[in-house]
Amino acid sequence: MIRKDIRIGLFGFGVVGQGLHTVLARTPGLRARIGRIGVKDRAKPRPLPAGLFTYSRHDLLQDDSLNVIVELIDDADEAYRIVTEALRRGKAVVTANKKMLAEHLPELIDLQRQTGTPLLYEAAACASLPVIRNLEEYYDNDLLESVEGIINGSTNYILTAMHHDALSFEQALSQAQALGFAESNPALDVEGLDARNKLVLLLAHAFGLVVAPTQLLTIGIDRISPLATAYAKEQGYALKLVAEARRLPGNGSVAAAVLPMLVKPEHELARVQDEYNGLITQSSFADRQFFLGRGAGAFPTASAVLSDLSALTYGYRYEYKKLHQQAHLALAPSAAELEILVTFTDAAAPNEADFRQLHEQFRSGTRGHYLTGTIGLERLAQAAWLRAPGICVVRLPGPLRAAPAAAE
């Protein structure tokens, strides 16, 4: 197969954009080069000739000599405008903007079909981990049962520092920001929203489910309590932010959520440290597979962009086969349950009636209180006490599972 030449219009020249420029320079075998770069800040000094840069997106989108647009900016709304116009103009697109993708995925899938133009986004899922194309191609006909993992490098760095270095959340966050693993406004990361957006992409390619981000129960690490951290250490568990999507047996239902989770030391995810990502797939034929790689930083993300660019030289596009193959599947939080630890104070407490079963209760005037129990995924998502001040919810070890009524 003859490889196509690629001339890139690059939006964004921050950490990842500069990383892409570097890796392209070191990859002479790839027939791709940057033709123009769109940026926003006119005053910012840059290491390349000024003539390469422009401040108008139209200079890139209306340039017929540029056949691929690479979008690496942090403004999801502007990214959406860039990506949709590029596709309508017949320009292939590579993006790392998971927020934009998650919020507009149905429209973007339709737009690719209408225009016949590919949109690739490996870098938006797990940075250096080759996840999306594996789900699309390797698991094409295999019956995938679950995907679960640590898919946000910033929060994993913070949790690692809290666990191994006994830092407070605030101290660990400051350290992550100083090293460039967390943004100055870290809400997307620490509130679990970045992992949620990535899980939307994984659901589409793993199970053919296109869902809105707001449909997924999402709890971040910003409310992890000292008592929850102490409980994890006392029990010998690692504390991780885990995204999971699991096909429930027998009824065509899929359960998915993002929550902090206690992980047993022998579990693969317990070994995922610092800014690394780790993803586990479970399938009927290939069984259990574990992917590990860097989840934050310039070169890990740029390497995924580079992989998509290489795929474009061969005319690759996502076929979204599972949207048709598995049309019977549905997201059904009412069909699933999980075991959780809830820590709380005298100011607010969980409603014990929301639990199907309570396992353990502890009260202390100095350390705070906790309980453990089994609760329905939908019941937890709708619980009035879930977002109350002083409430911390952490998953106990074990997968999402079918609730008794759903399993019958």
165, with CB counted inside 10 A (0-12, 13-18, 19+), is exposed
C-beta neighbour count of 214 within 10 angstroms: 9
Among 92, 93, 90, residue whose Cα is nearest residue 73: 93
How far apart CA 296 and CA 128 sit, in angstroms, is 8
Q: 201: which 2 tokens?
A: 């992409």
Beta strands in 204-286 (DSSP E): 217-218, 238-247, 253-263, 276-283
Active site residue 98: no
Q: Considering the candidates 98, 198, 240, 322, report the single residue annotated as catalytic.
A: 198
How far apart CA 174 and CA 183 sit, in angstroms, is 10
Q: 280: which 2 tokens?
A: 């586990």
Determine the length of the chain: 408
How far apart CA 276 and CA 300 sit, in angstroms, is 10
Could you tell me how many helices (H) and strands (E) the chain has, helices first?
15, 18
How far apart CA 202 and CA 256 sit, in angstroms, is 10
How far is the CA of 211 from the CAs of 104, 109, 194, 214, 389, in angstroms? 10, 13, 15, 8, 29
**Edge-to-edge strands, sheet with 68-71:** 53-54, 32-38, 6-11, 68-71, 92-95, 119-120
What residues are labeled active site?
198
